[in-house]
Amino acid sequence: MFEIKRYSPEDAAQWNQFVAGSKNGTFLLDRRYMDYHSDRFVDCSLMFFLHGRLYALLPANLRGDELWSHGGLTYGGLIMGTDIKADDTLQLFTELNKWLKTEGIKRVVYKAIPWIYQQIPAEEDLYAMWRTCRPKLLARDIASTIDMQRRIKWSRDRKYGINRARTYGISIERSTNFEGFWKVLDWNLMHTYGVEPVHTLEEMQLLHSRFPNNIVLYVARLNGEVIGGTVIYLTPRVAHAQYISANAEGKHLRVIDAIYNKVLNEDLADYPYFDFGKSTEELGHVLNSTLIYQKEGFGGRGVCYDWYEWTL
């Protein structure tokens, strides 16, 4: 019933056009974003055709005899058009599993696209996967999300931080100075967690050049010096905080509170959702209580990012 085709670079324009018109795709699933780190993954993205017409996409990569959707992205489940139907999706997953078996795949890891990113309801994949694959829940991360039309009052601690930053003359602005912010980000992640950012400075600059309206940077300055900032990914329904960091002085002056006062109450106040991202590690088994406390102080409440697995 379905023709299943493995993606090749010649399909990029058709892939990107479908993502742009889909009901649950975001720019992270555009090949111009996905392929920035193509050298790290063996791509096995799939295109599903029904009666000769492109019907759905599955961003994916191979890890030995495993298919991951997608190992290099926060989410990567089935990208669906508005005309997708539940019956057809059942058949799609049935035929997908048959195709994967013929390719020698023994295990699938599937990162579902969280519901907040759906422009219209798009969980046919979850139902079909449950019916045909009998998956297990592999990981569940909790993110902190604000429904911008029904906000929860900020904690007193966050309001104190805004006033403190204002007292010390902190200026908040939208910027393209990724280099200045990356110095802060590198220091903070290494000092706090002993890790480096997922993206290098050069990668983020490249992605920003490709998606200048989707990837935005806000910085906090003191006497002209960048002492904190945040990188925000803008998708149709969600503004997502990709990175948040301040140096020692920025933390002392509470510049993150001031930045998000501008972002949430002024510049992005009309967005449907603001997602601060996950506060969990080790497939969700470890909760970073300090990190989620800060996000909940802005009124963020739980949305889960789920990974599923099944064997063939």
Cα angle vertex 9, ends 200, 52, to 5°? 135
| pLDDT for res 254 | 95
| pLDDT for res 70 | 93
| pLDDT for res 100 | 98
User: Could you give phi then psi for residue 149, rounded to 5 degrees?
Assistant: -90, -15
| pLDDT for res 65 | 97
24 contact partners, CB below 8 Å, separation of at least 6: 77, 79, 80, 113, 117, 118, 119, 122
Among the listed residues 119, 226, 118, 110, the one whose alpha carbon sits nearest the alpha carbon of residue 172: 226
Beta bridge partners of 49: 3, 54
248-266: b (≥16 Cβ within 10 Å) or e: eebbebbbbbbbbbbbbee
| pLDDT for res 273 | 98
| pLDDT for res 154 | 87
Per-residue pLDDT tens digits for 93-119: 999 999 999 999 999 999 999 999 999
pTM score > 0.85 for this model? yes
User: Could you give phi then psi for residue 224, rounded to 5 degrees?
Assistant: 85, -10
| pLDDT for res 149 | 94
Peptide bond into 240 cis (omega under 30): no
| pLDDT for res 67 | 98
Among the listed residues 177, 206, 199, 179, the one whose alpha carbon sits nearest the alpha carbon of residue 32: 206
Domains plus CATH for the chain?
2-134 (3.40.630.30), 145-306 (3.40.630.30)
Per-residue pLDDT tens digits for 136-178: 999 999 999 999 999 998 888 888 999 999 999 999 999 999 9
* DSSP conformation letters of 51-90: TTEEEEEE--EEETTEEEE-TTSS----EE-TT--HHHHH
Low-confidence ranges of the chain (pLDDT < 50): none
Rounded Cα distance between 212 and 36, Å, is 15
| pLDDT for res 76 | 93
160 contact partners, CB below 8 Å, separation of at least 6: 254, 257
Per-residue pLDDT tens digits for 191-213: 888 889 999 999 999 999 999 99
Strands 107-111 and 66-69: parallel
Q: Please, is 104 exposed, middle or buried when counting C-beta atoms within 10 Å of its C-beta (0-12, 13-18, 19+)?
A: exposed
